[in-house]
Amino acid sequence: MNRRLYPAIVAAAVALAVGGAYAATSSKENDALAISAAKIGLSQAVSAAEQHVGGKASRAEYERHKGQWVFDVEVVKDKTVTDVKVDPATGKVTAATEDKADKDDDNDHAD
77 lies in some domain: yes
Give the integer Cα–Cα distance in Å for 48 and 109: 18
Name the pTM for this structure: 0.65
36 lies in some domain: yes
Give the integer Cα–Cα distance in Å for 20 and 109: 30
Alpha-carbon dihedral 19, 20, 24, 30, rounded to 10 degrees: -10
**CATH classification at residue 40:** 3.10.450.40
User: Which residues form the domain of 35?
Assistant: 31-102
84 lies in some domain: yes
Per-position pLDDT tens, the chain of length 111? 555 555 555 455 544 444 444 444 444 667 788 999 999 999 999 999 999 999 999 999 999 999 999 999 999 999 999 999 999 999 999 999 998 875 555 555 554
Name the β-bridge partners of 78: none
25 lies in some domain: no
10 lies in some domain: no
1 lies in some domain: no
35 lies in some domain: yes
Our count of domains for the chain comes to: 1
